Chains A and B, each alone.
Chain A
């Protein structure tokens, strides 16, 4: 079964850039999606198909995917960005969705 690995936590100062990684074997050959989840709330789709943003998602949120690592980048971090971020792929071998364990972003 396909496994996605994320760091448990990332910390960043306001105004700086945060990078959250999602590791998986040859993940660059898959389409990666990212979600933001604030405490007590449902996840919100941030990025789909590696780099696309749904309407309403600020341009500060961007992502890339290559090799064995996908990366979510949050520029000019704000206090309101403090949340859990999860990556997700579709495992076409077993035909099911796989989520990473999530990364808690702390804004210092």
Chain B
């Protein structure tokens, strides 16, 4: 059973950079793609991107220009950076794990989520 825990500031100013970290326990870092997914208030889920333990990444085309996901395997953590945030980036941010190998990725384990509010 993989356990994921998000951490980071709950309030970010408009035009600045949102930074979150996800700590992983209970699973092999090499067995999954490590993902960030967000959910704006009252809206559906939006995939942001994921990273493999090798450092290979894939991002949602709609966010690609502003997103960086990185991984620190020694700490069993991966991180999200989202630049130039606006009010539209206010959301609950989840980290999640997608089993690697099939090519039809699904999200097996999820963190509890953390609310990030962008203020003007």
Contacts and interface: CB of A to CB of B under 8 A. Distances in A.
A31 interface: yes
Contacts of B108: 45, 48, 54
Interface in A1-39: 1, 30-31, 33, 35
B101 interface: no
Contacts of A35: 45, 107
Interface size, A (range): 20 to 34
Given A30-B104, A42-B94, A86-B45, A96 B110 contact: no
B59 interface: yes
Given A30-B104, A31-B104, A99 B110 contact: no
Interface string B105-116: 111101111000
Nearest to A30: B104
A41 B61 CA distance: 27
B58 A96 contact: yes
Interface residues of B, number: 24
Contacts of A33: 106-107
B106 A48 contact: yes
A96 B57 CA distance: 11
Interface of A: 1, 30-31, 33, 35, 41-45, 48-49, 54, 86, 88-90, 92, 94-102
A43 B107 contact: yes
B97 to A, nearest CB: 10
A99 B104 contact: no
A90 B94 CA distance: 18
A41 B59 CA distance: 25
Contacts of B53: none
20 contacts: A31-B104, A33-B106, A42-B94, A42-B110, A42-B111, A43-B45, A43-B94, A45-B108, A49-B102, A88-B45, A90-B106, A94-B61, A96-B49, A96-B59, A96-B60, A96-B61, A97-B60, A97-B107, A100-B44, A101-B43
